[in-house]
């Protein structure tokens, strides 16, 4: 039996439609176009954090202190919201992500 009450209206924005269909709460979407050298520091949080690497690769400084190379098309999920860094190269100085604008994708 199909439950029509759970249908999510289509907005026309594919990312918004996908996230709304997953019924995620508290979603923030950030899109960054950076010039090398660059680094972004993400603080620890209670919720999971997801990154999708678009055009050019970068490096992830894991909570363990190990740098991992990420390539265009890679996706990273930090399920426990651990503090981490994304950077153009290992060891690049990183700026806190809180200094960048945040746009809400959808409400509850």
Q: Is the peptide bond before 37 cis (omega within 30 degrees of 0)?
A: yes
Residue position matching structure tokens 């999510």: 8
Task: Give the separation between CA 79 and CA 100, rounded to whole angstroms.
Answer: 22
Task: Name the phi and psi angles at 62, rounded to 5.
Answer: -75, 160
Strand partners, 15: none
Contact 37, 92 (CB under 8 A): yes
User: Under CATH, which number does the domain 4-100 receive?
Assistant: 2.60.120
Which stretch of DSSP H or E encloses residue 75? Answer: strand 75-78
Domain ranges of the chain: 4-100
What is the reported pLDDT for 22? 59
pLDDT tens, N- to C-terminus, the chain (108 residues) = 444 555 656 777 776 676 666 555 566 666 777 889 999 999 999 888 888 888 889 999 998 999 999 999 998 988 888 999 999 999 999 999 888 776 665 565
């Amino acid at each position: 039996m199909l439950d029509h009450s759970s249908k999510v209206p289509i907005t026309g924005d594919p990312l918004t439609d996908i996230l709304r269909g997953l019924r995620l709460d508290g979603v923030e979407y950030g899109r960054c176009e950076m010039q090398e050298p660059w680094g972004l520091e993400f603080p620890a949080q209670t919720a999971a954090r997801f990154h999708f690497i678009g055009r050019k690769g970068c490096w992830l400084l894991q909570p363990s202190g190990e740098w991992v190379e990420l390539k265009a098309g890679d996706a990273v999920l930090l399920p426990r919201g651990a503090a981490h860094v994304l950077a153009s190269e290992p060891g690049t100085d990183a700026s806190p992500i809180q200094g960048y604008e945040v746009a809400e994708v959808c409400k509850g």
